[in-house]
């Protein structure tokens, strides 16, 4: 655990950086925003945000030299946080607009949010709105994670997405949510890596608290 509150926010041109930066600053981060992949090597904590299409994000990550930097940082043991598409690109690939390769930091693939409920009723895609987070069947508790202080509060967070990751190892699932009876992955946690499909910067006090927990990790 690092004793500083230093956070490096990686800008690869696929995110509203102002909203994310403001949220981290409100949560107490000593923030540095950078588009230089070399800054990742010396970061105490690295944040990979993102919005939009998976393939477009991977094009920019690769073109700007961030892919190897993110992979290398993941191996350092220092805290890494992904948000939305910044979470998705950590996986091996996505089915969005065909078969697009990801960074391969986490085993698994990104697949479409189901367009029907489990009862066969059409449901809205993209999924937009607030959902309560659930402890996955593979976990008994959120102790020792950024979710730890919110177990009893059934925290609700804000989603905007058409695709969702499916970790190959269920133990990588940190939180789930229910959409039309489908239990989908809302967040992952493996070793030093935490990432959320939802937007903590748009999730009010709960989102700020989760960012604060990451900053203190």
Concerning whether 199 is annotated as a catalytic residue, the answer is yes
Strand pairing category for 30-34 and 46-48: unpaired
Active-site entry in 15, 66, 127, 201 = 201
The sign of the CA dihedral 130, 135, 138, 139 is: positive
Active-site entry in 15, 66, 84, 161 = 84
Concerning whether 84 is annotated as a catalytic residue, the answer is yes
Concerning whether 15 is annotated as a catalytic residue, the answer is no
Rounded CA separation 17/81 (Å):
15
User: Is residue 141 within 8 Å of residue 150, measured between CB atoms?
Assistant: no
Give the catalytic positions in this structure: 84, 199, 201
């Amino acid at each position: 655990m690092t004793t500083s509150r230093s956070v490096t926010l990686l800008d690869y041109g696929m995110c509203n950086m102002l909203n994310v930066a403001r949220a981290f600053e409100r949560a107490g981060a000593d923030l540095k925003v950078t588009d230089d992949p070399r800054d990742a090597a010396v970061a105490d904590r690295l944040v990979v945000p993102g919005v939009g299409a998976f393939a477009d994000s991977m094009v920019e990550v690769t073109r700007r030299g961030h892919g190897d930097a993110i992979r290398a940082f993941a191996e350092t043991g220092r805290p890494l946080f992904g948000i939305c598409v910044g979470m998705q690109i950590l996986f091996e690939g996505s089915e969005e607009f065909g078969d697009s390769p990801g960074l391969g930091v986490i085993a698994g693939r990104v697949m479409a949010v189901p367009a029907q409920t489990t009862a066969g009723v059409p449901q809205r895609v993209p999924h937009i709105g607030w959902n309560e987070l659930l402890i996955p069947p593979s976990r008994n508790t959120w102790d020792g994670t950024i979710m730890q202080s919110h177990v009893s509060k059934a925290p609700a967070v804000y989603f905007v997405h058409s695709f969702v990751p499916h970790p190959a190892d269920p133990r990588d699932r940190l939180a789930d949510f229910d959409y039309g009876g489908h239990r989908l992955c809302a967040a992952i946690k493996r070793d030093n890596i935490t990432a959320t499909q939802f937007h903590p910067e748009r999730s009010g006090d709960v989102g700020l608290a989760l960012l604060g927990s990451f900053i203190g990790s």
